[in-house]
Amino acid sequence: MTLAELNGHLDLVQQLQKTEELLQGLWNAAVPGAQKLDGMPHASGVNDKVGVLGAEIADMETQRDALKEQIARSEETIAVWIAGIEDNTTRLVFRLRFIRGMPWKVVASVLGGRNSEDGVKSICYRFLETCPSMTRADAL
């Protein structure tokens, strides 16, 4: 497993998180503005936010579903590789960072103890440097 492959998967996970946030924003913008039945006459220029945003929501949901499929395929290989890491702490660092997409700072806080952001990065990169399937150039 190379750092480039791990980072590629991480990019997909982070892209999915951003897509879901955007999708939620579209839904929030559409739903509260749904047609109000107040019996009052409407002026020209009034539009249906749900109708206008419906196409955007559908496109975004399609993108989200495609990303989920891509992540699932990528995660199969990565999860097996991570499961082969013998040290529990190192394995957890890799799962939290590359499978769950957590920032290094959050990984450090989950591990607790005296772990810092730089400390968990060091755990990761030190393991990658000693991993037989990686060359030093891949880790940098």
6-47 confidence digits (pLDDT tens) = 999 999 999 999 999 999 888 887 776 555 556 656 656 556
Half-sphere exposure of 42 (CA within 13 A, CB side): 10
Cα 91 to chain centroid, rounded? 19
Token output for 140: 């940098």
Tell me the pTM: 0.73
Amino acid at 114: R
For residue 44, the 8-state DSSP code is T
Q: What residue has token string 């005296």? A: 114
| pLDDT for position 28 | 81
Distance CA 136, CA 125 (A): 10
